[in-house]
Amino acid sequence: MSRFPKEVQPYVGRNPRIDDPWTRISFETSRDLTAAYYVKPTDADVAIVREQVALNATTADFLYSKFTPTRMRVKAGEYPKLDRVVDSLLSDGAQLSDRRRVLKMLLWCRDIPIRGRKTKDYYAGGAEELVAFQGGNMCNEMNRVFMIMCRIAGFASRYVGHFAVFKNDREITFMAGHGVAEVFVEGAWAYFDIRGKHFLWPDGRLASHWDLVRNPDLYLRQSEEVKLAQDQRRNDWNGGQRMFMWPSLQIIANYDPEKMTYTPFPETPEQKRRFKAFGTRRKAEARRELRKLLDAGYVPPVRSPWR
């Protein structure tokens, strides 16, 4: 990764500079909920947050030019099970375009939750090969599998996050965040959602994360063929557009497995209850902060209507 230019420095690290208080509170809440789910601060799904950079008009040029290497290597034999999956999926690679290669891997990862489980219990926080064969459905973990498979196949990849927002309605409704990826394909970074989504411009070009942030209506202008690839168990195509709207925080992070730890732990009923109780308390705390803002006359930023 290249050295950050001076004007980008404030956006680096665990607490990026977020000028809008509504967006900042949303980000901090989502960050805390994620950290509570895992064991160590160095575990990949927590540590990736510290590597993030907010995507906005100040940082976009840097993020789409120098931030992420466009060539990445995976050590031979480091992911033997995923090596075999990639080899099988791309066995007819000579006849496949790069786009089709990436989409085949995306759809394989999309179906991780419904494929036959190879482990007795579900473990959160595990490394990619454990996640891939245990039938988990957490977007951030499935997304790590997709990023590694892309690298095995010769495509650079990086993490994209939509941090949770609170909707300014009567209840101040919490809208969950989402972890997806960008892959360097066809000479540019393109957005791929682990739930089976990708996006095209009218001329057929793949859209990036920044394209969608600046043009959220592009989300809705997709063909039926593109929409068919999404996970049909999550029939929320239009609702997903909210991820690109204010008040929300868009981030990009470089994922370096060598800097991370992976501490799998069983997702027991008791653990689920503790996490749910923590989530209830943390979101209630955030709502109190947001109500104070509203009572003081604050108006949350809005870019386009919620759909």
- Rg (C-alpha) for the chain, rounded Å, is 19
CB 235 within 8 A of CB 196: no
Torsion sign (Cα): 222, 176, 140, 188: positive
pLDDT higher than threshold 60 for residue 305: no
Q: Which has the higher per-residue pLDDT, 244 or 148?
A: 148
pLDDT digits (tens, 9 = 90+) for 87-138: 999 998 778 899 999 999 999 999 998 886 766 667 788 999 999 998 778 8
Q: Which has the higher per-residue pLDDT, 245 or 64?
A: 64
> Can you tell me the distance from the alpha carbon of 45 to that of 32, in angstroms, rounded to the nearest whole number?
12
pLDDT attached to residue 307: 37
Q: Encoding tokens for residue 102?
A: 């990436």
Percent of the chain with pLDDT over 70: 88
Note the pTM of the prediction, 2 decimals: 0.91
Q: Of 223, 192, 219, which is closest to residue 305 (Cα–Cα)?
A: 219
Residue 179 bridge partners (DSSP):
161
Identify whether 247 is preceded by a cis peptide bond (ω within 30 of 0): yes
Enclosing H/E stretch for 210: helix 209-214
